[in-house]
Amino acid sequence: MTKHAQWIWLPGWQGDEDRSQFQVNFYKSFNINKLCDLYLEFSADICCRVWLNGRFLADGPVEVGFDFNPDPDRWPRNEAGWWFKSRIPLEKFAHVGKNELFVEVWPGGLACNTSVTYGQPGFWAEVHQGKKVVVATDASWQVMRDPNWSNGDYIHGATFADGSKPTEWQKAVPTGDKRVLSTLDVPEPFDRPMAPAKITAPFGTEPLRERRFPVVVLPGAPQVIQFAWEEHVSAQLEFTIETMGRAVLHIDFAELPGYTHHRMNYISRPGRQTYRVPRLNSFQYVTFTVETADWMTRDALPVAILSVTAHRRGLELPPTTPFETDRANAWMSMIRNCCDRTLRMCSQRMFLDSPLHQEVTACSGDYWIETLMSLVLYGDARLAKADLDRTARLLRHRGGVMFHTSYSLMVVSWLKDYLLYTGDEEFTRECFEATKLVLKTFEKYVGTEGLVSQAPNYMFIDWIADGEITYHHPTAARGMGAMTALYIISLEDSALLAEHFGDRRFASKCRKTAERAREAYRKTLWRKKKRCFADGLVGVCQSKPYWGLPADESRETYTVQNNVLAVLAGVVTGKEAQVLLRRVLHDESLIFPQMYFCHFVFEALRKCNLMEELGFDC
């Protein structure tokens, strides 16, 4: 055995096969004579899950983050080279004597948007006893490609044909991969099994002998069985079935009844089998459509569903902080409970934009808001720090710009709020150097009129759409004002950070640049007749149109979003800002925000002391 682990993979790997259709399994047995100070370190490209002595141990590794990949035909490649490993204690899973490690690796990933590769697929692991490495990945490990796994797309997920095509184990091959593995201080998510609260046959047929486990599906036409939980969860589904022949399960996941957002297929072998779906999913309802083998013949056999379990996953969070005033009315309690449930689903080893979509670390605006929620509700900054670390790495690598242009700017405000709540000066100073690259990049996007009019795109403002134009990726004329306002906010927050760290020259430069942008904003975008600011100037952007930057229309547009950001950027202040907010929030001719953007609306109302006037007594 080698002293330290090597990255290993399949023999004969060509590198040009469809990685999404691969599941590769590894196996290693080993002996230990004591259990104290025993732990496993592991990593994989792209992801894996580990079983020890037949029990689920962990999945991982800790996600590297990175940017969104708009190209569905290739995996985003982390050319910069950072990669993480996970560390799991083994005392509760191992035993003295022989132990068996079984690992499943998916080189194409499981959730389409978190699938980032270093380039070469592989698996790496070391079992430690104190400072001694007792097991390490090398050529002594066994490996095989699991032919029963095939993947689908974003909605139509994987198919797993359990044991239908057995293969032979082979000797693993070291890949020569020399990537440097580092650790990120992120706790492993808890794993909490939850049984369904209700089992029904929603289409009125009667395949069930009883409305509890075991659920027996008798031969005949395909039967539908729905399992419902008490609440919406982020979880991995596990089920145990027993068949005397072949059966097919079409499994649909839904957050609301009747609205499938993800599905997969499971093809059984004869006998009893348990399968844990590897992908984290978001659901309250799971529907099984069960096809018994050859159900139109006399040889059809029943299928028994012995158990269905949702393994709830997430960061272990403390109870929510109670209200400290007498303003704990029903409305505020409802908002707080919604934030609490959201965080308990979206706080994994990283903040998720949603447990369904599972973006990489490309949605800084979402993580900024989740950070504020987590700090206020729990006083917890662990994921905020980890995600800021990943984002700072990305900004250094990308030269200060990300796929979502607006989110590059929001990283500065996110970092400022992190410092205000935690006082973590050393870490903030390190990340601040990376965010300076954002401002340097945006200097190039400022046009002769003084606005951010030459950006490569104007993603992301809000989810709202106006006809065929969405503010996820609006035209330049629709996004120009909002992006300029976000640029001003980023400059002002950068000035605060620079001043805090003693760099008065940089702080002064940021404030002067911000004031020039404010003057340009007021001069070019105010519309006296409309009594608000226009979204932007039509026809001045020289960037080449593409799907992320539709060509400008001939007309001007006006949105609440842009005017709210103008208030936050200090384009208007005092009574003028109050008048503008009252005006735009009551003008139904304007484009109104969706839920995401309400964060900025509330911040503007708070800045102008209008929360109570507009009914938000908090």
Average pLDDT over residues 308-327: 82
pLDDT attached to residue 76: 53
Beta bridge partners of 358: none
Q: Which tokens sit at 117?
A: 């590769």
Answer whether residue 421 is part of any domain.
no
Output the domain CATH number for residue 34: 2.60.120.260
Neighbours of 246 (CB within 10 A): 18
How far is Cα 381 from Cα 418, in angstroms, rounded to an integer?
8
Q: Which tokens sit at 357?
A: 């979509």
- Position 240, amino acid: T
Average pLDDT over residues 350-354: 90
Same domain assignment for residues 177 and 204:
no
How far is Cα 305 from Cα 213, in angstroms, rounded to an integer?
7
- What is the percent of the chain where pLDDT is above 90? 67
Confidence of residue 142 (pLDDT cuts 50, 70, 90): very high
Answer whether residue 291 is part of any domain.
yes
Confidence of residue 255 (pLDDT cuts 50, 70, 90): very high
Helix count (H) and strand count (E) of the chain?
10, 29
Does the pLDDT of residue 448 top 50, yes or no?
Answer: yes
Under 8 Å between Cβ of 148 and 166: no
How far is Cα 557 from Cα 537, in angstroms, rounded to an integer?
9
pLDDT attached to residue 111: 66
How far is Cα 601 from Cα 606, in angstroms, rounded to an integer?
9
Q: Determine the structural domain holding residue 138 and report its residue range.
A: 8-157+164-182
pLDDT attached to residue 258: 83
Whole-prediction pTM: 0.92
Smallest Cα–Cα separation from 42: which of 117, 118, 105? 105
Answer whether residue 434 is part of any domain.
no
CA distances, 372 to each of 380, 383, 557, 576 (Å) = 9, 11, 32, 28
Which residues contact residue 206 at a Cβ distance below 8 angstroms, ignoring those fewer than 6 apart?
none
Same domain assignment for residues 228 and 301:
yes
Beta bridge partners of 9: 173
Q: By mean pLDDT, which of 42-51, 148-157, 280-289 is the weakest?
A: 148-157
Output the domain CATH number for residue 451: 1.50.10.10
Beta bridge partners of 143: 26, 170
Does the pLDDT of residue 160 top 80, yes or no?
Answer: no
Residue that finishes a domain, picked among 254, 282, 314: 314
Same domain assignment for residues 129 and 54:
yes
Between 490 and 63, the higher pLDDT residue: 490
Same domain assignment for residues 12 and 62:
yes
Which residues contact residue 302 at a Cβ distance below 8 angstroms, ignoring those fewer than 6 apart?
216, 217, 218, 219, 243, 244, 292
Q: Where is mean pLDDT largest: 395-404, 560-569, 587-596?
A: 560-569
Residue 192: in which H helix or E strand, if any? strand 190-194
pLDDT attached to residue 236: 95
Same domain assignment for residues 568 and 463:
yes
pLDDT attached to residue 1: 45
Map residue 438 onto helix, strand or coil: helix
Residue that finishes a domain, picked among 314, 347, 378: 314
pLDDT attached to residue 207: 45
Same domain assignment for residues 91 and 133:
yes
pLDDT attached to residue 401: 85
Chain CA centroid to CA 576, Å: 39
Residues, the chain: 618
Answer whether residue 124 is part of any domain.
yes
CA distances, 32 to each of 35, 99, 125, 559, 599 (Å) = 7, 8, 16, 66, 54
Rounded mean pLDDT of the chain?
88
Average pLDDT over residues 229-249: 91
Q: Express each pLDDT in 90-124 by its tens digit.
A: 999 999 999 999 999 988 777 654 567 777 889 99
Can you list the pairs that 11-15 forms with residues at least 24 positions away whose Cβ atoms lie under 8 Å? 11/143, 11/170, 11/171, 11/172, 11/173, 13/121, 13/173, 15/120
Smallest Cα–Cα separation from 201: which of 186, 189, 192, 212? 212
Same domain assignment for residues 460 and 483:
yes
> What sign results for the dihedral spanned by CA atoms 62, 283, 384, 463?
positive
Answer whether residue 576 is part of any domain.
yes
Map residue 218 onto helix, strand or coil: coil
Q: By mean pLDDT, which of 69-78, 395-404, 470-479, 483-492 is the weakest?
A: 69-78
Answer whether residue 438 is part of any domain.
no
Longest dimension (CA), the chain: 85
Same domain assignment for residues 152 and 240:
no
pLDDT attached to residue 382: 96
- Position 362, amino acid: A
CA distances, 409 to each of 20, 70, 133, 150, 495 (Å) = 33, 20, 44, 39, 14
How far is Cα 293 from Cα 248, in angstroms, rounded to an integer?
8
Residue that finishes a domain, picked among 297, 314, 331: 314
Average pLDDT over residues 411-416: 97
How far is Cα 282 from Cα 596, in angstroms, rounded to an integer?
19
Under 8 Å between Cβ of 496 and 432: no
Chain CA centroid to CA 503, Å: 35
Under 8 Å between Cβ of 226 and 202: yes
Answer whether residue 103 is part of any domain.
yes
Smallest Cα–Cα separation from 491: which of 508, 511, 517? 511
> What sign results for the dihedral spanned by CA atoms 418, 423, 427, 431?
positive
Average pLDDT over residues 367-377: 95
Average pLDDT over residues 536-549: 96
pLDDT attached to residue 162: 61
Smallest Cα–Cα separation from 288: which of 335, 239, 332? 239
pLDDT attached to residue 301: 72
Under 8 Å between Cβ of 182 and 118: no
Q: What are phi and psi of 199, to 5 degrees?
A: -125, 125
**Count of structural domains, the chain:** 3
Same domain assignment for residues 132 and 275:
no
- Position 291, amino acid: E
Under 8 Å between Cβ of 455 and 405: yes
pLDDT attached to residue 2: 47
Same domain assignment for residues 93 and 43:
yes
pLDDT attached to residue 617: 59
**Which DSSP category does 376 fall into?**
H
How far is Cα 69 from Cα 362, in angstroms, rounded to an integer?
9
Answer whether residue 333 is part of any domain.
no
Residue 129: in which H helix or E strand, if any? strand 122-129
**Which DSSP category does 179 fall into?**
P
Smallest Cα–Cα separation from 214: which of 234, 242, 254? 242
Same domain assignment for residues 203 and 297:
yes
Under 8 Å between Cβ of 241 and 216: no
Q: By mean pLDDT, which of 63-67, 70-74, 289-293, 459-463 is the weakest?
A: 70-74
Does the pLDDT of residue 193 top 90, yes or no?
Answer: yes
Average pLDDT over residues 350-365: 86
Find tokens 């649909």 and name the residue.
Answer: 252
Under 8 Å between Cβ of 343 and 335: no
Q: Which tokens sit at 60?
A: 């991982």
Strands 190-194 and 260-267: unpaired
Q: What are phi and psi of 566, to 5 degrees?
A: -60, -40
Same domain assignment for residues 142 and 202:
no
